[in-house]
Amino acid sequence: MRRIAAKLHAPGWSRPVGRALGRWGASGIGLAAVLVAATIVQACPAAQSVLEFDRGGIAAGQWWRLASCNLVHFGWLNFAANAGAFAALCWVARCRRLNVMPLVLPSAVLVGAAVYLWADGITTYRGLSGVSYALLAMLVLHAAMRAGKPAAAAWVGFLALAAARSAFEAATGRSLLPTSLPAGAGLAPVSHLAGLATGAAAALACRILARAAGIKAIRASGECVRSGGAGVGR
Amino acid sequence: MKAEAMTYGRRAVFGAFVLAAFLLAGAASISSAAGLLIADGGLGGVLEIQQHEVNVTINNGVAVTEVTQVFRNTESRQVEALYTFPVPKDASVANFSMWINGKEMVGEVVEKQRARQIYDSYKAKRIDPGLLEQTDYKTFEMRIFPVNAGAEQKVQICYYQELDFDHDWGTYVYPLATVSAGGADSRTAGKFALTVHAKSEVPIVAMDSPSHRKDFVFARHADAYWQAGLETAGGDLNRDVVLAYRLSRPRTGIDLIASRHGAEDGYFCLTLTAGKELEGLNSSMDYAFILDISGSMADAGKLALSRETVGAFIQALQEEDRFEIITFNVAAKALFDQLRPADERNKAQASDFLGSQQARGGTVLRPALEAAYRYASPDRTLNVVILSDGMTEQGERAALIQQIRSRPANVRVFCVGVGNEVNRPLLEQLAEDSGGLAAFLSRGDDFQRQAAAFRRKLTRPVLTDLQIEFEGPQVYDREPAELPNLYHGTPLRLYGRYRQPGPVKVKLRGLIRGARFDNTVELTFPAADRNNGEIGRMWAWHKVHRLLKGADRTGSRAEVIPAVVTLGEAYSIATEHTSFIVLENDAQYKRWKIERRNALRLQRDRSSQQELQAQLESMRSRASARLGPQRAAPQNLGPVLAAGDRPGQPQPQPEPADRQVGRPRGRDLRLPGFGGGAVGPIGAAALGLWAAAEWLRRRKGRKCGE
């Protein structure tokens, strides 16, 4: 990536792109693109009907709706709350030097699939919050893995609370906290549960892969501590 | 001879005085009243209203209004009384009786020309006939001859109507503010009493009268039964009586009520109501308000009512909505010449603009509608809301209907008829042809409530492309044959007939915001149900209405008139082609070979009404038994007694079998769900704080690193 960025630092039109790549990385640009896409979709009602989760459409083979439904929202308030939460989580990930971009697309698809499979009362689904819940789970578990025992327990407890809340909402059909949804659109907690599960699975997978690669721990600076010695890289 | 000459002289003076009074009154203002009995012929004169009693029974949204009036001929001559009364919205006149020699004579429906011939033949012989005919779409006229000098005449009219529903609120209007011939006195010399019994199996949770809040007394006897009463002595009857009641049906559902006597084929009425789960999913919309400021809008404060309604509507718009106001009389004029967001500044400008409008000139709607169409854009729905009394120029109507049909895509036309004398058929047809709605404002109603309700209808999602199929007992003659769109706040009623009782599967298909839904619910058609006799008549009335409307579109009614007359006679419905005739006795009916169908039907209906009244009386008794101190149940007498088993309280009576089957058989529908992933404000704020904490931590780390 740095090599690409260095090449793009050459004078001319590509300089700003190169700088952005250097500063934010492809991951940051990818996440920003998600937000820009959601904003464009929100401003363009014609696109919403093509991209939203439509059970009939998906059954008829419009599979893209499983992922694209995450970019569509019920009004600007719903969009602002979801996009704001997503942006905040991306920022936290950046501060923690965690590349969450590879998680976005799989979690978007899994959230859509979970709604399709387990919320058959919902024929139209919209919202980015499922993906945000995936990022949240990954970030929280990542923080827990890097923290000491008491703090790790607190992080895990927080995540368990979030999961319990979503499970309660799924069981009762009632939202425990105010949502940004307009009247008439119900909360789909199954999407939050799916997001949490995806994020948690991704965090654990990372952990297992890291262990398999012999990385014992990752310091706050991003340096990896390998089983047999000092940190050798980020 | 001299005395006779004196009498004629006095009459001439009196006549001149009446004429002068007419002219003066006509110049000053137009008087109004519920129905007016005018001495027809000569110089006319108004008969005094001695008594005016209105008894309304609202049974599951269908109101049966029985108006009993006693008039006195204050003139010193025998007169032919001409009684004119307005037809409330969607009302079907189902009976006309008059008292001849102290005995009630029930009218019969016959073909209009024949009825007029029979009436005229009796009039020549100066014996008692009565005639009730529909003169146009909005007025009925009743003629009684002779009414002797100083004599009293008692008449009774009964009509059925479906109530307007705005989601939970059902509105009943008793039209009193009828613009009529000048010089008419709207005061009643005796008492005016209006009693409303509202019965509904969907619980009634509130009742109110926006027009006569202080005069009405409301009593809640049970969730399913409320009563309202108003009584005045010598009151002025120049304001509509508006009564509204709220039902609590939160879910979108389908309700069935039925009527079946013996082995006859039954009638049913299915009501489809949009529930709360369909609320609030629409995004912002554009509105073009077209306000009629022609001269006819000056009458009875119609312009003021329209201004206030548009004003209330605009105040309720959200900032992301855009709007424009276009006024018209002989020419159209726009406020902004563009659609502007509904922010405070534009709302204030609209309010000033509305306040400056004055009613004058003719009514030419087409240019205004053309101008409104120019605001249409492909990506937003444009709602064109026309507020008018519909008194557009005759030659323009066909072109107007054509213009509505050729509207741009994404445009819906909504018509708000203002006043009681509104041209309902025209406004309804305009709205129907454009996939919109027509609503009607009464002067007595609360315009803010009306505007809010109408706005809800505009902004809430609708069920479209509705199709209904029945599996089970043979269902036939459905009215309407094709279901229109379902709007929020306006239940959709489907009438029909069924051959056999028993369970029936009702398959309902359609689209909600483009999402397809397909529901099957099981309902049961009863073997016997005598409580809802009005359904049969309403079914026939809808059929007549559809036939006439269809014929009007083709331009000729000739083909449908025989069917309309047959239905009118069979179901005792006065239409533009059938009239009620009252003759002196049964022998006279036989002489003219008129079957006493209405007399028999009325006997049956009254018997059902009596049963219903007995049931209501029992509910009232149960409610009053709960008043006052309740005696404590004696101790140590075994199990605790149920409330109804307490000493001194009436025992709850088991309902008769046919009454149990008379209950509406409602089912909630399972509609497409709109689900969203949503982070709430608390979650978003917490994540924001986390992000800020991370930023601070990172900054601190950098500083330490430096």
CB-CB neighbors (< 8 A) of A187 in chain B = 675-678
Q: Tell whether ipTM is more than 0.95.
A: no
Q: Which of A121, A122, A104, A115 is nearest to A37 (CA)?
A: A104
Partner-chain residue, chosen from A78, A124, A129, that has the shortest CB–CB distance to B672? A124
User: What is the maximum alpha-carbon separation in chain A?
Assistant: 60
Query: Rounded distance, CA B387 to CA B328, Å?
Result: 10
Asked if residue B664 lies in contact with residue B529, where contact means CB atoms within 8 angstroms, the answer is: no
Which residues does B contribute to its contact with A (CB < 8 Å)?
276-281, 283, 320, 379-380, 461, 513-517, 670, 672-684, 687-688, 690-691, 694-695, 697-698, 701
Domain B282-459 bears CATH identifier 3.40.50.410: yes
Q: Quick one: pLDDT at residue B9?
A: 42
CB-CB neighbors (< 8 A) of A186 in chain B = 277, 673-676
Q: Quick one: pLDDT at residue A193?
A: 93
CA atoms within 13 A of residue B227's CA, in its CB half-sphere: 13
Q: Quick one: pLDDT at residue B515?
A: 61
Token digits for B330? 């002989």
The residues pairing with B506 across neighbouring beta strands, listed in sequence order, are B470, B521
Q: Do A45 and B283 touch (CB under 8 A)?
A: yes
Q: Do A122 and B277 touch (CB under 8 A)?
A: no
Query: Range with the lowest mean pLDDT among A117-121, B184-188, B261-265?
Result: B184-188
Token digits for B16? 């001149």
Query: Rounded distance, CA B672 to CA B691, Å?
Result: 37
Asked if residue A48 lies in contact with residue A78, where contact means CB atoms within 8 angstroms, the answer is: no
CB-CB neighbors (< 8 A) of A92 in chain B = 687, 690-691, 694
What are residue B462's phi and psi, to 5 degrees?
Answer: -120, 155
CB-CB neighbors (< 8 A) of B515 in chain A = 54-56, 123-124
Q: Quick one: pLDDT at residue B132?
A: 78
Nearest residue in A to B285, CA atom:
A45
Query: Rounded distance, CA B329 to CA B291, Å?
Result: 9
Q: Do B680 and A70 touch (CB under 8 A)?
A: no
Distance of residue A221 Cα from the nearest chain B Cα, in angstroms: 9
Q: What is the block-wise mean pLDDT of chain A (234 residues), using blocks of 10 residues?
A: 47 54 71 91 83 84 91 87 92 85 91 89 85 93 84 89 88 75 73 93 86 65 54 42
* Preceding peptide of B650 cis, ω within 30°: no
Distance of residue B317 Cα from the nearest chain A Cα, in angstroms: 16
Q: What is the 3-state secondary structure (H, E, C) of chain A?
A: CHHHHHHHCCCCCCHHHHHHHHHHHHHHHHHHHHHHHHHHHHHCHHHHHHHCEEHHHHHCCCCCHHHHHHHCCCHHHHHHHHHHHHHHHHHHHHHCCCCCHHHHHHHHHHHHHHHHHHCCCEEEEECCHHHHHHHHHHHHHHHHHHCCHHHHHHHHHHHHHHHHHHHHHHHHCCCCCCCCCCCCCEECHHHHHHHHHHHHHHHHHHHHHHHHCCEEEECCCCCEEECCCCECCC
Look at the domain A46-226 and name its fold: Rhomboid-like fold (1.20.1540)
- Alpha-carbon B458 to chain mean position: 19
Asked if residue B467 lies in contact with residue B509, where contact means CB atoms within 8 angstroms, the answer is: yes
User: Is the pLDDT at B645 greater than 70, yes or no?
Assistant: no
Domain B253-277+463-540 CATH (choose: 2.30.110.10, 1.10.3720.10, 2.60.40.1230, 3.40.605.10): 2.60.40.1230
The residues pairing with B236 across neighbouring beta strands, listed in sequence order, are B187
* Preceding peptide of B146 cis, ω within 30°: yes
The secondary structure of residue B163, as a DSSP letter, is P
Dump the DSSP string for B219-250.
EEEETTEEEEEEEEES-B--S-EEEEEEE---
Asked if residue B471 lies in contact with residue B522, where contact means CB atoms within 8 angstroms, the answer is: no
Chain A interface, best mutation among B674, B689, B696, B700, by max A CB count within 10 A: B674
Q: Which of B118, B67, B508 is nearest to B274 (CA)?
A: B508
Asked if residue B254 lies in contact with residue B508, where contact means CB atoms within 8 angstroms, the answer is: yes
Domain ranges of chain A: 46-226
Q: Which of B416, B414, B378, B383 is nearest to B287 (CA)?
A: B383
CB-CB neighbors (< 8 A) of B276 in chain A = 183-184
Distance of residue B511 Cα from the nearest chain A Cα, in angstroms: 11
B131: Cβ contacts below 8 Å, ≥ 6 apart:
B115, B116, B119, B142, B143, B144, B579, B580, B581, B582
User: Is the pLDDT at B374 greater than 60, yes or no?
Assistant: yes
Considering Cα of B342, then B344, then B346, then B349, what sign does the dihedral take? positive
Nearest residue in A to B279, CA atom:
A184
Partner-chain residue, chosen from B678, B691, B694, that has the shortest CB–CB distance to A78? B678
B234 exposed, middle or buried (CB, 10 Å; 0-12, 13-18, 19+)? exposed
Q: Quick one: pLDDT at residue B495?
A: 92
Partner-chain residue, chosen from A70, A88, A192, that has the shortest CB–CB distance to B690? A88
Q: Do A45 and B379 touch (CB under 8 A)?
A: yes
Asked if residue B316 lies in contact with residue B449, where contact means CB atoms within 8 angstroms, the answer is: no
Q: Quick one: pLDDT at residue B12?
A: 39
The residues pairing with B454 across neighbouring beta strands, listed in sequence order, are none
pLDDT tens for each residue of B669-690 = 766 667 777 787 788 888 889 8
Q: pLDDT confidence of B584, banded at 50, 70, 90?
A: confident
Query: Rounded distance, CA B440 to CA B24, Å?
Result: 31
Q: Do B676 and A123 touch (CB under 8 A)?
A: no
Query: Rounded distance, CA A110 to CA A130, Å?
Result: 9
Asked if residue B64 lies in contact with residue B199, where contact means CB atoms within 8 angstroms, the answer is: no
CB-CB neighbors (< 8 A) of A82 in chain B = 677-679
Q: Do A76 and B676 touch (CB under 8 A)?
A: no
